[in-house]
Amino acid sequence: MSASYRSTTARWWQTLGDGEVGLGVALIVLGVWLRRPLPVVAVGSVLVLVGVRRIVCLVAVVVGIAGSVLSIHAWNEVRPDQLGSYSGFGCLVSDPAPVAGATVVVVELDGERFEAWLRGSAGRRVAGHLAGECARITGTRQALHGSDAKRAAARHVVGGLTLESAGDWSPGTELAQASNRVRRLFADGASELRSPDDALFAGLVIGDDRNEPAAMIEQFRGSGLSHLTAVSGQNVAFMLAAAGPLLRRLRPWGRWVATLAVIGWFVVLTRFEPSVLRAAVMAGIASTGVVLGREKPPARVLALAIGLLVLVDPFLVWSVGFWLSVSATAGVVLLASRLAERIPGPDWLTFPAGVTLGAQAGIAPISLLVFGRLPLVSLPANLLAVPAAGGVMLYGLPAGLVAGALHRSPLPGLAGVVQLPSALGTHWVAAVAALGARLEPPLPIVVIGWLGVVVFLATRIGMARRRRVCEGVC
C-alpha cells in the first residue's frame, strides 16, 4: 500500500509552479547582484510568512546564496595578479573593433584579459586578425580605476594594455580556426553589398556589428529597431529552422545531440553574445524537454535559462544586452498572444502587432532607464522591418557563405546575384530605420501616443472581460 502510494505521489519539485520557479530565479539574481547572502535569507523568510511553501523557499534561498558566493568569487577573479611589462604569447579574446578612431581589442595574457586601444600602424596591423588568434606580445599591463574598472570587470577584463608589438601570429585552436574561416568567408560574401548595408548585413546575420556607422546605429535606436543591429535570439531560431529538414531525419536522441551541436556552433560563431546565450540555453532546455517527454512552458524555460546563465557567468547580471533580450522575450512570452487577441484585424496583422507590443512592453523599463527613450514610431517600424530582417537572417548565412565562395572563384560576378535578396532585404530594413528616426515625433506627442496605446488596449481587455461575463450569465 505504502509502496503504491509513494509511486503515485509526485515529488515536490515535480509540482513546482511557474511562479515558484520565478521566485527561485529572482533570488539567484538578487544574490548575484548584491553579493550578500543576508538579503536573500531575508526575502526567503518573507516568502515563508506570505504562504509560499517552505521547501520551495529553502531551495530558493540556497541557490540565491550560491549565486552571491559565485558572484563574490567572480569579482575577486577580475583583480589582476600581476601588472607591468609583459613579453610572451597572448591570444585575442575579441575581434578588433574600430572605436573613436582607434582599434580596440581584448587580449588574454597568462589567463587574464586586458583591453588595448591601438592607434595608427599598431591598430592596422592587428585589425586583420580575429578572436582566437595568438601572437607574441610585448607591452605594459596597467590597472584600471573607477567606473572604467567596473565596466571592464563586467566583461571579465582585469586591466589595460599598452601594446608595443605583436608578431609571429598563429591561428589558434581548431575551433577558433573553424569559426574564423566561416567568418572570413562570410565577410567576403557580405562585401557584395554596398556600404553601409554590408555592415548591417553582417550584424543582422552573425552579430558582427563592428563596422556599422554611428549614424546608422543612432537611426536604429531612434526608430526602436536597435535590437536588429546585432545578433539576437531570433537568429538562433532561424538557424534551427534552416537546419530543421536535416534534424527531423534523425532519431530523437540523435536529433537532440545534433541540435545542441548546431546551437553550440552558432554561439561560437557569434562570439558568445549575451542575447544568443539566452536563446541558446532556452533552445537547449526546450530540446531536452522534448527528448525526455517533459516539455515545459516558455515562461519556465526562460526562467530556468536566466538562473543557469547567471550562475555560470554572474557578470551577465550587469549586461544591458542580456536584460534587453530577457525582457523582450518575457514580453513576447507573457503578453503577445493576449494582446493579439485584443487587437482588431486579420491574423496576419494582429499577431505581429501583438509580438511587437509585447516586446516593447518588456523592454520599456530598461530602455527608459538606460537610453532615456521609448520611440513611438517603433510600433510601425517593427511591423515593417522585422519580417524583412527575419528573411535576411534566414537566407543570409547560407547565401553569405555561397557568395563568399563565389567571390574567391573564377566567377565572382555570380556572388552579387546570390546576394541580391540579401541586399534588397537589408536595404529595406535600413530605409525603415532611417525614415522612422526622421518621423519620430517630439517627446510630448510620444507620451500622449503611448498613453493612447495603453488606453486602447485597456479598453479592449475590459470589453473582452465584459463579453465573457455576459456569455457566462446568458
pLDDT tens-digit readout, 128-183: 999 999 999 999 999 998 888 888 988 899 999 999 999 899 999 999 999 999 99
**111-132 core/surface letters (b: 16 or more CB in 10 A; e: else):** ebbbbbbbeeebbebbeebbbb
Q: Residue 469 has what pLDDT?
A: 66
Q: Residue 45 has what pLDDT?
A: 92
Q: Residue 35 has what pLDDT?
A: 93
Q: Residue 339 has what pLDDT?
A: 87
Listed in sequence order, the residues at least 6 apart from 263 whose beta carbon sits closer than 8 Å to its beta carbon are: 236, 239, 240, 280, 283, 284
Q: Residue 1 has what pLDDT?
A: 46
Q: Does CATH place domain 84-172 in 2.40.50?
A: yes
Structural domain boundaries in the chain: 15-77, 84-172, 183-440, 443-474
Could you check whether the bond before residue 344 is cis, i.e. omega within 30 degrees of 0?
A: no
Sort strands 157-170 and 112-118 into parallel, antiparallel or unpaired: parallel
Q: Residue 2 has what pLDDT?
A: 47
Q: Residue 26 has what pLDDT?
A: 94
Q: What is the pLDDT along the chain (474 residues), one digit of tens a residue?
A: 444 444 456 676 677 788 889 999 999 999 999 999 999 999 999 999 988 888 989 999 999 999 999 999 999 989 898 899 999 999 999 999 999 889 999 999 999 999 999 998 888 889 999 999 999 999 999 999 888 888 898 889 999 999 999 989 999 999 999 999 999 999 999 999 998 999 999 999 998 888 899 899 999 999 998 888 777 777 888 888 888 888 889 999 999 999 999 999 999 999 998 989 999 999 999 999 999 888 888 999 999 999 999 999 999 999 988 998 999 999 999 988 888 888 888 888 888 888 888 888 898 888 888 888 889 999 999 999 999 999 999 899 999 999 999 998 888 889 999 999 999 999 999 999 999 999 999 989 999 999 998 888 888 777 777 776 676 655
